[in-house]
């Protein structure tokens, strides 16, 4: 199931509220999280309920990203924030949820098993419901790219959304991997959602010394030491690493505030560069337009005349 496969062309939210508990990857804090239905055009909004009723809600948009060095933190400087939102954001995009309120009683989204699959399960248990308003999407009209320190990320026009990533690590457990996935016909759930975050054993001590990765373990990350994977059960796919990079990219791009229609490609890219790409796209007003999914479907039809006539909504 994903936004296109859902096929309604309408915004979606949850049918019922649903909760889970878990540990934050970096903080190690145990948190309780409730996802609840939200009204049309409200988007993805976090609330830090442990900070009292006056704490301002935090919309999950690119303007509210305050740190993206290791994971994605949204919030307000000197105010409430939420850490490690990316895998939940990927699950919301992958299941086609436009509007949801996420109440959380701690600083960090639970890491669960290090993938998006537990969130997809949670969302499916809650159920999805189509809302009255049309879903708006961001249609890429011309190529946009960013590059930094040997890494690249780009968006080019396409008839639906696809994400392709390339990675290249010295460890033979990872090596060179590349994969492209179109977000259609349930591919997010079948091919991407279960891919776990990964890290290197030699980095764990350094991260812990910096007060990070306190909740990290072999239960919620793939850990690589030299050319070996330390997890007893091994990998879920031989290319689980690049699949997780695609998962991260899907979550990062959803911070645009709406689904993107276009082709993403990242080479050695990470959260910070993906966010820069979103900012660069949105700042280039000629590079995209608001559209409804139904008009994109018309544009994807057989005749050029139909494509030319496809209405854009502003
Ligand atoms: Zn990740």
CA distance 57 to 79: 10
Three-state DSSP class for 187?
A: helix
**In angstroms, what CA-CA distances link 208 with 51, 202, 212?**
26, 11, 5
| Strand 198-200 to 222-225 pairing | parallel
pLDDT at 293: 66
DSSP H/E element including 29: none
pLDDT at 215: 74
Distance from the alpha carbon of residue 113 to the mean position of ligand 1, in angstroms: 11
**In angstroms, what CA-CA distances link 172 with 97, 266, 275?**
37, 21, 29
Burial 73-110 (b: 16+ CB within 10 A, else e): bbbeeeebbbbbbbbbbbbbbbbbbbbbbbbbbbbbbb
pLDDT at 8: 58
CA distance 216 to 222: 10
CA distance 47 to 67: 18
Question: Is the separation of the CB atoms in 287 and 281 below 8 Å?
Answer: yes
CA distance 115 to 244: 8
Reported pTM? 0.90
Place of tokens 């000197």: 78
Distance from the alpha carbon of residue 31 to the mean position of ligand 1, in angstroms: 19
CA 54 to mean position of chain CA atoms: 28
Distance from the alpha carbon of residue 301 to the mean position of ligand 1, in angstroms: 35
Local confidence pLDDT in tens for the 314 residues of the chain: 444 434 558 999 999 999 999 998 888 889 999 999 999 999 999 999 999 988 999 999 999 999 988 889 999 998 999 999 999 999 999 999 999 999 999 999 999 999 999 999 999 999 999 999 999 999 999 999 999 999 999 999 999 999 999 999 999 999 999 999 999 889 999 999 999 999 898 887 777 777 777 777 888 899 999 999 999 999 999 999 999 999 999 999 999 999 999 999 999 999 999 999 999 999 999 999 999 865 444 333 333 333 333 333 33
If 0-12 CB within 10 Å is exposed, 13-18 middle and 19+ buried, where does residue 67 land? middle
pLDDT at 247: 98
Q: HSE on the CB side for 137, CA within 13 Å?
A: 26
Looking at the annotation, which residues are catalytic?
271
Question: Is the separation of the CB atoms in 45 and 59 below 8 Å?
Answer: yes
Distance from the alpha carbon of residue 86 to the mean position of ligand 1, in angstroms: 6
Distance from the alpha carbon of residue 84 to the mean position of ligand 1, in angstroms: 8
């Amino acid at each position: 199931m994903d936004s296109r496969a859902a096929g309604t062309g309408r915004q979606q939210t949850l049918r019922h509220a649903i909760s889970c508990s878990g540990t934050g990857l970096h903080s190690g804090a145990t948190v309780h999280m409730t996802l609840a239905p939200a009204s049309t055009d409200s988007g993805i909004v976090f609330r830090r309920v442990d900070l009292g009723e006056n704490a301002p809600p935090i919309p999950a948009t690119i303007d509210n990203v305050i740190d993206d060095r290791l994971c994605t933190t949204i919030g307000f400087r000197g105010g409430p924030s939420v850490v490690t939102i990316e895998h939940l954001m990927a699950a919301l995009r992958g299941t086609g949820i436009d509007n949801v309120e996420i109440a959380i009683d701690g600083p960090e989204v639970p890491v669960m098993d290090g993938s998006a699959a537990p969130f997809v399960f949670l969302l499916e248990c809650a159920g999805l419901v189509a809302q009255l308003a049309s879903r708006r999407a961001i249609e890429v009209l011309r190529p946009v790219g960013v590059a930094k320190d040997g890494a690249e990320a780009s968006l080019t026009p396409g008839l639906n959304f696809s994400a392709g990533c390339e990675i290249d690590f010295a460890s033979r457990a990872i090596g060179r991997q590349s994969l492209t996935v179109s977000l259609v016909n349930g591919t997010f759930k079948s091919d991407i959602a279960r891919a776990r975050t990964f890290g290197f054993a030699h980095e764990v001590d350094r991260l812990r010394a910096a007060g990070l990765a306190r909740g990290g373990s072999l239960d919620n990350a793939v850990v690589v030491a030299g050319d070996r994977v330390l997890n007893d059960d091994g990998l879920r796919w031989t290319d689980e690493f690049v699949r997780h990079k695609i998962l991260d990219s899907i979550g990062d791009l959803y911070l645009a505030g709406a689904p993107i229609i276009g082709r993403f490609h990242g080479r050695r890219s990470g959260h910070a560069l993906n966010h820069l790409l979103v900012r660069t796209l949105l700042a280039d007003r000629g590079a995209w337009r608001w559209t409804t999914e139904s008009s994109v479907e018309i544009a994807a039809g057989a005749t050029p005349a139909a494509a030319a006539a496809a209405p854009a909504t502003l």
